[in-house]
Amino acid sequence: MSDFSIEMNVRDYELDIQGIVNNSVYQNYLEHARHEFLHSQGIDFADLTERGVILVVKTITMDFKNSLKSKDKFKVVVETYKEGHLKLVFKQTIYRIPDNKIALKAEVTGVCLVNGKLVKPETIPEINNFLAT
Amino acid sequence: MSDFSIEMNVRDYELDIQGIVNNSVYQNYLEHARHEFLHSQGIDFADLTERGVILVVKTITMDFKNSLKSKDKFKVVVETYKEGHLKLVFKQTIYRIPDNKIALKAEVTGVCLVNGKLVKPETIPEINNFLAT
Amino acid sequence: MSDFSIEMNVRDYELDIQGIVNNSVYQNYLEHARHEFLHSQGIDFADLTERGVILVVKTITMDFKNSLKSKDKFKVVVETYKEGHLKLVFKQTIYRIPDNKIALKAEVTGVCLVNGKLVKPETIPEINNFLAT
Amino acid sequence: MSDFSIEMNVRDYELDIQGIVNNSVYQNYLEHARHEFLHSQGIDFADLTERGVILVVKTITMDFKNSLKSKDKFKVVVETYKEGHLKLVFKQTIYRIPDNKIALKAEVTGVCLVNGKLVKPETIPEINNFLAT
């Protein structure tokens, strides 16, 4: 189990015709936060790739609570845990700043492939590190 | 219950560093297919807005099956039904063409607001039409 | 000199808060049209890469004439020619359909690298083919 | 004449299949920097819209110097000046941090419309302020 968050700002090009952040953009926010979390854990994608390791997203569920708008600041909180033998789960919540109103609750599950074969996530030492803490 | 599909092509700017369509882009595909479906049902967003009607996405679940790549063709199938009193569900599946391999299974639920208040979807005549068929 | 065009449709997720296609999206349209043109000329990016060939965009100029909106159809016309010894120029114009009103005039210049070194574009046989026609 | 800059980070979803930031994404960076600059000058788009004022981009020229990659930090410098009677010019340069290598040089020209009519930019008091400094 681990806990991590980053702060971001809405950019105007992310707004749609209704003046709110387009639904698909939240997936960009979630991906960016996951990558920043993984970097913070010493995970280097280039290095993983050289070792034949790929992390693959299998499912995403998003529960839209409140829309973000122009000039909004927000943070994306990332928690991670294992599910079953093979799944790595990222529980991600987006909170508007400063009132902490929840904009989105999301759950992203992924699996690890080494040379194309499914492996338990803890086989990758860097992943084992943050799963153990 | 209704059934609808549109065909699209992967565009190279939609690919990520791994050479596959970025996860968030599937949400663009799904949204475009829903809008085309709604247009096909005579739903005009500008007209709805003037009547104070807004359709809001509440939840999205995506189950990634197989990645789409450069030059892939695919179709997005859209089925709709009601759930409970207030929810409109879009069941959407993306099939690669021509082998019909499933790329993504998704479920999107939405609600209808009229002047900011939740209403049953069938209150909107154009929606009632396709729910009834 | 060659001439090529593809037809596309505005998708609602490409609109910005003003209800018109966001400026950066036109660059997506232009890139997609160039790639489709190059494919039509038998140019396979994967194959080029294996041969150590990279096409790099050096400059883009865009002259915005009229905004595209929801449900607009349009075509992107691509003309190509050489400039100087090393530059490949793509003159691209976006016309709204069916009234042929110009939405955008653009000029994109690129160069060819083989194993990291600048070469004359006609060194690449597939490029020489369309430059010669 | 005025001078302004913001710092940003490359996000992995902005990379293309070659592992570099996709060309169209630079336009997002440029737009975001212009909007942040305008906000810093007390320009509120919602307020402008209510007063019938629209800023429209007419031309963009981009000169790509060096590609940005995963994890790169960069700053976007924005300078503004008038050209002729009606044009507002944004000269924007993207520098990689910390080595200040230029990634992109761009020039964006815009015009001001009040209730659909072209006006001199200095007619808008907030714009006059930064043009005068």
Task: Count CB neighbours of D87 within 10 A.
Answer: 16
**pLDDT tens-digit map of B53-109:** 999 999 999 999 999 999 999 999 999 999 999 999 999 999 999 999 999 999 999
Secondary structure, 3-state, chain C? CEEEEEEEECCHHHECCCCEECHHHHHHHHHHHHHHHHHHCCCCHHHHHHCCEEEEEEEEEEEECCCCECCCEEEEEEEEEEECCCEEEEEEEEEEECCCCEEEEEEEEEEEEECCEEECHHHCHHHHHHHHC
**pLDDT tens-digit map of C11-20:** 999 999 888 9
Q: Does B24 touch chain D (CB under 8 A)?
A: yes
Q: Does A35 touch chain D (CB under 8 A)?
A: yes
- Looking at residue D4, its pLDDT comes to 95
Distant-in-sequence, close-in-space partners of B44: CB < 8 Å, separation ≥ 6: none
pLDDT at C93 over 60: yes
Q: Does D128 touch chain A (CB under 8 A)?
A: no
**CA angle, D48 as apex, B57 and A24 as ends, to 5°?**
20
Show residues of chain D in contact with C62, CB under 8 Å: 59-61
Secondary structure, 3-state, C106-133? EEEEEEEEECCEEECHHHCHHHHHHHHC
**Alpha carbon of D20: minimum distance to chain C alpha carbons (Å):** 11
Among A12, A24, A70, beta carbon nearest to C13: A24
pLDDT at C79 over 60: yes
Which one is predicted more confidently, B131 or C75? C75
Report the distance separating Cα A4 and Cα D77, nearest Å: 31
- Looking at residue C1, its pLDDT comes to 45
Report the distance separating Cα A84 and Cα A58, nearest Å: 14
Strand partners, A7: A75
**Chains contacting C (3 or more CB pairs within 8 Å):** A, B, D
Structure tokens at A110: 């992924």
Q: How many residues make up chain D in this entry? A: 133
pLDDT at C47 over 90: no
pLDDT at D27 over 60: yes
**pLDDT tens-digit map of D59-69:** 999 999 999 99
Write out the catalytic residue numbers of C.
16
**pLDDT tens-digit map of A66-106:** 999 999 999 999 999 999 999 999 999 999 999 999 999 99
Strand partners, B7: B75
Among B22, B58, B62, beta carbon nearest to A60: B62
- CB atoms D15 and B13 under 8 Å: no
**pLDDT tens-digit map of C50-77:** 888 999 999 999 999 999 999 999 999 9
Report the distance separating Cα C83 and Cα C79, nearest Å: 13
- Looking at residue D1, its pLDDT comes to 45
Rounded mean pLDDT, D93-102: 98
Q: Are C43 and C127 in contact (CB under 8 A)?
A: yes
Structure tokens at C63: 């002259």
Q: Does B17 touch chain D (CB under 8 A)?
A: yes
- CB atoms B31 and C13 under 8 Å: yes
pLDDT at C101 over 70: yes
**pLDDT tens-digit map of C102-125:** 999 999 999 999 998 999 999 999
Strand partners, C81: C89
Residue among C14, C16, C21, C23 with most chain D CBs within 10 A, to mutate: C23
Report the distance separating Cα A59 and Cα B61, nearest Å: 7
- Looking at residue C110, its pLDDT comes to 96
Closest CA to B57 of C13, C109, A126, A6: C13
Q: Are C11 and B30 in contact (CB under 8 A)?
A: no
Report the distance separating Cα A25 and Cα A31, nearest Å: 10
- Looking at residue A48, its pLDDT comes to 85
Q: What is the pTM of this model?
A: 0.95
The pLDDT-based confidence of C130 (bands split at 50, 70, 90) is confident
Q: Does C117 touch chain B (CB under 8 A)?
A: no
| Helical packing angle, A23-40 and B23-40, nearest 10° | 170
Cα separations in angstroms, C31 against A17, B14, C25: 24, 11, 10
The pLDDT-based confidence of D133 (bands split at 50, 70, 90) is low
The pLDDT-based confidence of C132 (bands split at 50, 70, 90) is confident
Would you give the distance in Å from CA D10 to the centre of its chain? Answer: 17
- CB atoms B60 and A62 under 8 Å: yes
When the pLDDT of each residue in chain A is averaged and rounded to a whole number, the result is: 93
Query: Over the Cα atoms of chain C, what is R_g?
Result: 16
- Looking at residue A88, its pLDDT comes to 95
Report the distance separating Cα D64 and Cα D105, nearest Å: 7
Strand partners, A92: A78, A106
- Looking at residue B1, its pLDDT comes to 45
Task: Count CB neighbours of C117 within 10 A.
Answer: 8
Which one of A3, A12, A16, A72 is the catalytic residue?
A16
Residue among D18, D23, D111 with most chain C CBs within 10 A, to mutate: D23
Strand partners, C78: C4, C92
**Alpha carbon of D32: minimum distance to chain A alpha carbons (Å):** 6
